[in-house]
Structure 1
Amino acid sequence: MTDFMPIGGRGSSLIRRVQGVAGQVLMRQELELRFGYGKILPWVRRIYDDDGEALLAVAGPQAVMLRADALPHAASDYSHVGEFMVEAGQTVDMQLHAFSSHSVPPPAIDVGVALQATSNYWTYWSSNYLRPGNYDAEVERSLLVLRALTHEGTGGIVAAPTTSLPEQFGGERNWDYRYCWLRDAALTLEAMMTHGFQQEALLWRNWLLRAVAGDPHDLQIMYGVAGERELPERVLDHLPGYEGSAPVRVGNGAVTQYQGDVIGEVMVALAKLRNHGVHEDHFSWPLQRNMLLFVENNINRKDHGIWEMRGEKRDFTHSRVMMWAAMDCGVRAVQEHGLDGPAGRWAEIRDGLRTEILERGFNSEINSFTQTYGRTEVDASLLVLPQVGFLAYDDERILGTVSRLERDLLDGAGLLMRYRTEVCLDGLEPGEHPFLACSFWLVGQYARTGRVAEAQMLMDRLVGFGNDLGLFSEEYDTSGKRMAGNYPQAFSHLALIRAADALNRYGQ
């Protein structure tokens, strides 16, 4: 049985091809269509056109059509069911098309031609992948996932295609990830550029620039796939949630949050694109200057942090470092690439941030950077500090931080938690599973500081948490041995790529 979404079709389609290999197999199919997140029952009727018989379901502006060699004919309990026999050498095709109800229904697709074209497209696309060495299959799969999470028209990449798959089974840590975070887009740009996909990197850059265009004071951390700004969060009370994990949410309230690290993520990615020889145009560099103005105007503002804390705003060390990184990128753009800008003022802000971070974000008594100023709790995002050049990977203060992270945040299976939810108040009930990206960051840290065997061991363990398709969720439940959180998760796949790159470069 082969399921695929055809490339270049009109509207959205899902195709299933069932092929008989040997003997006979009795297949049962069931079609149960609901719109409005399961709330709206469509009107279903049988129609006939030039392509034969089909089932058409309509609910307001939306419509779905099923064309099949073996249509389910029996209506039962607001669903359609049927059985068909498949023999050796026989092929049965089914086509499910979604389209606007006011439009003419899409014609039937030649499934054999569409399957070959789709296979050729993805095979050709992945053939451009620059293979670094070890973990080629995992990196290639991750790049394919990032490409598949990308909107074909706009270039926006969603964090995940799902909403409300729980981080905590039976709990309330359930979020809608079907939106485009600037952080994810920036990291995707970097991953694509590093592995030979220059055109895709430019596609993401252009989406980024369109999304943030406008008044720098209006900058958001996330947008819709076309750059939409209004993403209000609401609860779907009629749905019980996955394994009773309520509430089920649509939209994301974090859109209104201020996260001080985001501009730094974007500026670092665009700087790497610039270092790869991509020239700034009349649009991209002025917009980056606007983003630096946004950082400057918010230099003393507390934030919600990279993990979108829904509690009190604080001075998160990681956020302050990423503000430092943003300013550093601006200074280097002027000094090393001849672009225009107040490099002197940016350098003054950058240097002031560095002094502040070292004084207030590092606790000498525990020999570690801390999650927020004035406290002793640590956070896995501190592993990003050397990634952006704030300090060397083998700096004693970074090594002390790693030691503290290992002591406080490693779970019984050797995976790294984001932070201790029972201590670091994030506005929700305590309890979650290890965030996979954090452990991938630890792989890179180990590889770059001579702990290659540990890096390799952790990497192999993490890779083993993917499913049979090489897909990763946001978190992993080590006790229940199953995925947790939205899936597949772009951030996990991005971190996997970075970890593999570090091992291939430093683990030889």
Structure 2
Amino acid sequence: MNTDPPKIQDYAVIGDGRSAALVSRHGSIDWLCWPRFDSSSVFAALLDQKVGGHWSIHPAGDAQITRRYLHDTNVLETEFSTASGKIVLTDFMPVTSEEKKKEQLWPEHELIRQVRVAQGEAHLMIDFSPRLDYGRIVPQIKNAGKLGWRIDIGTCVFTIRSDVEFVQDGHGLSGTATLKAGEVASFSLSYSAEAPAVIPPLGDLVAHKLQLSIDWWRNWADQAKYEGPHRDEVIRSALALKLLSYAPSGAIIAAPTTSLPETVGGDRNWDYRFAWLRDAAFTVRALFGLGYKDDAEAFVNWLLHATRLTRPQLRVLYDVFGESPPDERVLGHLHGYAGSQPVRVGNEARDQLQLDTYGEVVEAATHFVGTEQRLDREMQQMLRQCGDYVCAHWSEPDNGMWEYRDARRHYTHSRLMCWVTLDRLLQLHRRGQLSGIAADKFEKAWREIRQEIEERAWNEHLQSYTQELDGEALDSNALLLALHGFEDAASARMQETHRRIRARLGPAPGLLYRDERSAEKNEGAFALCGFWEADFLARGGGSLDEARGVFKAALAFANDLGLFAEEIDPITADALGNFPQGFTHLGVINAALSLRDREKREGKLEGPS
């Protein structure tokens, strides 16, 4: 087997709406946090192969490896072809309705791995080496006889059961087995916060849980009301977002990982296992656009709950229950992915000022309520508070959407989203959906912000909108001026802005750096920005063929399973940053929706491809 550390794009993700695991193409689970996305890790070889812990299952000897998700599911199949045979490794976290879980006494959390020999004979090798609390705890694994093996940590219980006999090997378990065509071996790792735990049997119940999980995912995927270009890729992005959704609250986290680097060997390594308000408008538009109204409603309800205690001030990010994330700290004992240090947990951006979040929240609410729905008292109160706050603070410098940890600046995008806040609130007010606002005050600030953007964010010499007021540097988020309706995509200013961005920030078709600072530092191209460009072109910034071309070029940078990280190395096409990245997959969906709408307008709607 290849002993080189996997590339970020060599991972797949499985989950159950509460936590997620990353599985390498070689059959190793190198990242798992239980019981929540932001809990400490059970396996963290992703961040340190020596001390992080892993759980590998693979055949002995060299193998040709292919993998896929079962169609319209998050059930992963990895196929190993060796000289002696072919095996299929199926990895999933069981999901089904809450009613069926109660009927069958499912564990609180479970990860199932099943090996089936499809052809010939296979000699399996299993290495189970958990290292709790980000590798700091080497747990004692006790033999519980017919109940498998267990780890007791306080009141918490981990149980592993297997059709293969395990032996203790140092501080872990190992096992080998020779299986012939048609034979199956199953493994179950479960977690309970309090003993006694539900001990899941294997045998037929594994096949039953697999079928229930396949049915659940496919039923969810079938709810999508999308008939347009690249349907498979769009649904895969929706399924990725569903994996990042915390089912008990409706929150959607940015990514299930921490500290995967934006530059290998660099220090821009952040914890993304939280929910950013910045993503709100994109999230609601994507969910509504695909027909997932229940998911959109759950997200908006979480949004109202999360912001209740801090309004009128909004935090940049929240945990899945709407609380403040923990203090950011460095895990100095971990080597980091490919030596990229530091490894961080928690995120200091929670304390930044990002004025764009107000526009994102108000835009999300506007998408949610549409043009006719009446707003309840709490929603109206939140919207009024956002408007009042923006009127009082819109002219201040902030940290901006890219969260640079230096001096605050007057970012164009932050001004834009302050304008969006007031623009949408005034629209709601005129339609009679929102009452009690100081309309004259809102309109005055709305005009002042528009004038400032038009006069100070436009650089006459560059013939482009710039990243900051009175600035010289470019930022791909200037394309969002069209998406949010501040400028028409076909306007002379937006056309010139797009040309400058493509010339100065575009290393390859389908790729854009987020800004000139990241281009100069040799960071990866920001994957989302390529989809922003496709969206911009689809909205009238270019021809339909141009929009299709950029969208297709951007899609080509997904991994073999259709998953995107945060960034793409423009030279090697390697994935960079936390993985999979929700913001990128939102970009896929929203660009596809804009492309579909453009095709409908021109009577050139393409079928799924």
What is the TM-score with the length of structure 1 in the denominator?
A: 0.95
Partner of 1:150: 245
Q: Are 1:46 and 2:139 an aligned pair?
A: no
Give 2:581's aligned residue.
Answer: 489
Q: Map Cα deviations across residues 220-254 of structure 1 (whole Å, 9 max, x no partner).
A: 01000001114311000000101110000000010
Task: Please give the secondary structure, in 1, of the residue aligned with 2:118.
Answer: coil
Instruction: Find the counterpart in structure 2 of residue 366 from structure 1.
Output: 462
**Distance (whole Å) between structure 1 residues aligned to residue 165 and residue 388 of structure 2:** 60
The residue that corresponds to 1:182 in the other structure is 277
Q: CA deviation at 1:190?
A: 1.6
Residues 159-208 of structure 1 deviation map (CA, whole Å, 9 limit, x = unaligned): 00000011100000111000000122332122111111111111111000
Residue 445 of structure 1 corresponds to: 536
Matched, 1:87 2:184: no
Q: Number of residues paired by the alignment?
A: 498
- In 1, Cα distance between equivalents of 2:577 and 2:156: 29
Pairwise CA distance, 1:279: 3.4
Alpha-carbon shift at residue 4 of structure 1 (Å): 0.6
CA distance 1:99–1:173, change in 2 (3 Å): same
> How many angstroms apart in 1 are the aligned matches of 2:122 and 2:373?
56
Contact 2:131 2:138 in 1 (8 A): yes
Distance in 2 separating the partners of 1:146 and 1:276: 26
Unaligned runs of at least 5 residues, structure 1: 425-429
Say if 2:91 is the partner of 1:3: yes
CA contact (8 A) 2:399 2:405 kept: yes
For residues 313 and 467 of structure 2, the distance between their equivalents in structure 1, rounded to whole angstroms, comes to 27
CA 1:248–1:342 in structure 2 vs 1: closer, same or farther (change >3 Å)? Answer: same
Distance 1:246 1:446 in 2: 38
8 Å contact from structure 2 (residues 387, 421) kept in 1: yes
1:31 aligns with 2:123: no
> Which residue matches 1:96?
189
2:438 is the alignment partner of 1:342: yes
Q: Which amino acid aligns with 1:203?
A: A
Deviations 1:474-508 (A, max 9, x none): 11112222111101100000001111112222243
Residue pair 1:132, 1:501 contacting (<8 A) in 2 also: no
Equivalent residue, structure 2, for 1:427: none
C-alpha spacing 1:176/1:489, structure 2 compared with 1 (3 Å):
same
Distance in 1 separating the partners of 2:280 and 2:312: 20
- Range 6-15 or range 464-473, more displaced: 6-15
Superposed structure 1 runs of 4+ greater than 6 Å apart: none
Contact 1:57 1:63 in 2 (8 A): yes
Amino acid at match of 1:334: H
- 1:364 is displaced (CA, Å) by 1.4
Secondary structure in 2 aligned to 1:356? helix
Tell me which moved more, 483-492 or 124-133.
124-133
- CA RMSD in angstroms comes to 1.6
Q: What is the aligned partner in structure 2 of residue 263 from structure 1?
A: 358
Counterpart amino acid of 2:347? N
How far, CA to CA, are the matches of 1:71 and 1:153 in structure 2? 36
Alignment of 1:212-291 (within 5 A): 212-275=307-370, 277-291=372-386
Aligned-residue sequence identity (percent) comes to 34
The reply to whether residue 401 of structure 1 matches residue 494 of structure 2 is no
Which amino acid in 2 is paired with 1:239?
A: L
In structure 2, distance between residues paired with 1:384 and 1:305: 14
* 2:115–2:185 Cα contact (<8 Å) kept: yes
The 3-state SS of whatever aligns with 1:97 is strand
Stretches of structure 2 that go unaligned for 5 or more consecutive residues are 1-88, 96-100, 605-609
1:451 is displaced (CA, Å) by 2.8
Q: Give, in whole Å, the separation in 1 of the partners of 2:529 and 2:199.
A: 47
Q: C-alpha deviations, 1:315-348, integer Å up to 9, x for none?
A: 0001101000000111011101342022222111
Question: Is this contact kept in 2: 1:265–1:322, CA < 8 A?
Answer: yes
Tell me the distance in 1 between the aligned counterparts of 2:128 and 2:371.
50
> Which of 138, 142, 152 is the equivalent residue of 1:58?
152
Match of 1:71 among 145, 165, 187: 165
> Secondary structure at the residue paired with 1:200?
helix
Q: Does structure 2 conserve the Cα–Cα contact (< 8 Å) formed by 1:30 and 1:72?
A: no
The corresponding residue for 1:169 is: 264
Richer in strand (by share): 2
Paired with 1:190 and 1:212, the residues of 2 have a C-alpha distance of: 20
- How much does 1:421 deviate? 1.9
**Whole-Å separation in 2 of the counterparts to 1:214 and 1:298:** 19
Q: Secondary structure at the match of 2:251?
A: coil
**Deviation for aligned residue 1:277:** 4.7
Report deviation, 1:215: 4.2
1:135 aligned to 227, 230, 250, which one?
A: 230
**Cα displacement (A) at 1:103:** 1.9
Asked if 2 retains the 8 angstrom alpha-carbon contact of 1:330 and 1:343, the reply is no
Q: How far apart are 1:362 and its partner, in Å?
A: 0.9
Maintained 8 Å contact 2:286/2:586: yes
What residue is the counterpart of 1:297 in the other structure? Answer: 392
Q: Return the letter of the residue paired with 2:392.
A: N
Residue 354 in structure 1 maps to residue 354 in structure 2: no
Contact 1:216 1:293 in 2 (8 A): no
Counterpart-to-counterpart distance in 1, 2:323 and 2:582 = 20
Q: Residue type of the partner of 1:43?
A: Q
Are the structure 2 counterparts of residues 91 and 444 from structure 1 closer, same or farther at C-alpha, using a change threshold of 3 Å? same
2:198 to 98, 106, 116: 106
**Distance in 1 (alpha carbons) for counterparts of 2:501 and 2:565:** 22
AA partner of residue 527 (structure 2)? L
Change in Cα spacing, 1:289 to 1:483, as seen in structure 2 (3 Å) is same
- 1:457 offset after TM fit, Å? 2.1
The whole-number CA distance in structure 1 between the counterparts of 2:519 and 2:586 is 28
Aligned counterpart for 2:590 among listed residues 462, 484, 498: 498
Q: 1:17 is matched by which residue type in structure 2?
A: Q
Helix, strand or coil: the match of 1:93? strand
Contact 1:267 1:329 (8 Å CA) reproduced: yes
Question: 2:398 aligns to what SS in structure 1?
Answer: coil
TM-score, normalised to structure 2's length?
0.79
Query: Alpha carbons of 1:3 and 1:338: their partners in 2 closer, same or farther (altered >3 Å)?
Result: closer
State how far apart, in whole Å, the 2-side matches of 1:297 and 1:392 are.
28
Partner of 2:115: 18
How big is each residue's C-alpha offset from its partner over 1:439-492, in whole Å with a ceiling of 9 and x where there is no partner?
A: 100011122233333322222222121122211111111222211110110000
In the TM superposition, residue 12 of structure 1 has moved relative to its aligned partner by 1.6
Alignment of 1:113-128 (within 5 A): 113-128=208-223
Q: Note the C-alpha offset of 1:368.
A: 0.9
Q: Residues 26 and 277 from structure 1, CA distance in 2 versus in 1: closer, same or farther, beyond 3 angstroms?
A: farther
Higher alpha-carbon deviation: 293-302 or 30-39: 293-302
In the aligned structure 2, how far is the partner of 1:15 from the partner of 1:253?
A: 35
Tell me if the contact between 1:236 and 1:249 (Cα under 8 Å) persists in the aligned partners.
yes
Q: Which residue is equivalent to 1:316?
A: 411
Secondary structure, counterpart of 1:330 in structure 2: helix
Whole-Å separation in 1 of the counterparts to 2:372 and 2:429: 15
Q: Which residue of 1 aligns with 2:527?
A: 436
C-alpha distance 41-486 of structure 1, shift in aligned 2 (>3 A) = same
Conserved? CA contact 1:156–1:185, under 8 Å: no
| CA shift for structure 1 position 116 | 1.1
Aligned-partner Cα distance in 2 for 1:278–1:124: 28
Corresponding position of 1:458? 550
